[in-house]
Chains A and B, each alone.
Chain A
Amino acid sequence: METRGDTRMQGYADPGLCRELADRIRAALTGRLRFMEVCGTHTVSIYRSGLRSLLPPEVEHVSGPGCPVCVTHAREIAACIALARIPGVIVLTFGDMMRIPDSRGMSLQQAKARGADVRICYSPAEALQLARANPDQEVVFLGVGFETTAPAVAAVVKQAGQNGLDNLSLLSCHKRIPPALGHLLAGRDLDVDALLLPGHVSTVIGLGPYSFLGREFGIPSAVSGFEPADILMGLYSLVRQQEKQKPEVINAYPRAVKDQGNRAAQAVLEEVFDSGPAQWRGLGRIEDSGLYLAPEYSGLDAWKRFGLEDIEDREPPGCRCGEVLKGKLHPRQCPLFGAGCTPSRPAGPCMVSTEGSCAAVFKYGM
Chain B
Amino acid sequence: MHTHILLDHGSGGLASQRLIKDVFVRHLGNAVLSSLNDAACLDLSGRVAMSTDTFTVTPLFFPGGDIGSLAVHGTVNDVAMCGAVPRYLSCGFILEEGLSLELLERIVASMARAAESAGVQIATGDTKVVPRGAVDQVFINTTGLGELGEGTPPQGNRAAPGDAVLVNGSMGDHGLTVLAHREGLNFRTPVESDSAALNGLVSDVMQAVGDVHVLRDPTRGGLATTIKEIAEQSGVCIELEESRIPFSPGVEEGCSFLGLDPLFLANEGKMICIVPQDMAEKALQAMRSHALGKRAEIVGRVIQGQAGRVVLNTAIGGQRLVHMLEGEQLPRIC
Task: Identify the A interface with B (CB < 8 A).
Answer: 1-4, 6-7, 9-10, 13-15, 18-19, 41, 44, 47-54, 68-69, 94-99, 120, 122, 144-146, 148-149, 200, 228, 342-344, 353-355, 362-366
Contacts and interface: CB of A to CB of B under 8 A. Distances in A.
Interface stretch (B91-99, B102-110, B248-256): B248-256
Contacts of B332: 41, 94-96, 353-355
Given A7-B253, A354-B332, A122 B320 contact: no
Contact of A94 (B321, B326, B333): B333
Interface string B258-283: 11010000000000000000000000
A13 to B, nearest CB: 5
Instruction: List 8 tightest A-B contacts by C-beta distance, closest first.
Output: A50-B318, A95-B330, A50-B314, A343-B326, A344-B327, A344-B326, A18-B316, A364-B320
Given A355-B259, A362-B323, A19 B330 contact: no
Contact of B333 (A13, A48, A69): A69
Contacts of A2: 170, 246, 248-249, 295
B319 interface: yes
Contacts of A228: 316
Given A145-B333, A343-B327, A362-B326, 5 more contacts: A68-B334, A95-B331, A146-B334, A353-B332, A366-B321
Counting chain B residues whose Cβ lies within 8 A of the other chain, the interface size class is 35 or more
13 contacts: A6-B249, A14-B316, A41-B334, A50-B314, A50-B317, A54-B318, A96-B333, A98-B330, A99-B330, A344-B327, A355-B259, A363-B326, A365-B321
Nearest to A365: B321
B44 interface: no
B252 A53 contact: no
Contacts of B41: none
Nearest to B331: A95
A202 to B, nearest CB: 13
B316 A54 contact: yes
A61 B249 CA distance: 31
Contacts of B256: 9
Contacts of B295: 1-2
B246 A15 contact: no
A344 B311 CA distance: 21
A51 B259 CA distance: 18
A69 B332 CA distance: 9
B333 A365 contact: no
A96 B329 CA distance: 9
Nearest to B245: A4
A202 B327 CA distance: 32
Contacts of A365: 320-321
B243 interface: yes
Contacts of A364: 320-321
A54 B314 CA distance: 11
Interface string B45-76: 00000000000000000000000000000000
B134 to A, nearest CB: 16
A52 B329 CA distance: 24
A149 to B, nearest CB: 5
Nearest to B257: A122
A9 B253 CA distance: 9
B183 interface: yes
A4 B243 contact: yes
A2 B327 CA distance: 31
Contacts of B315: 4, 13, 15, 49
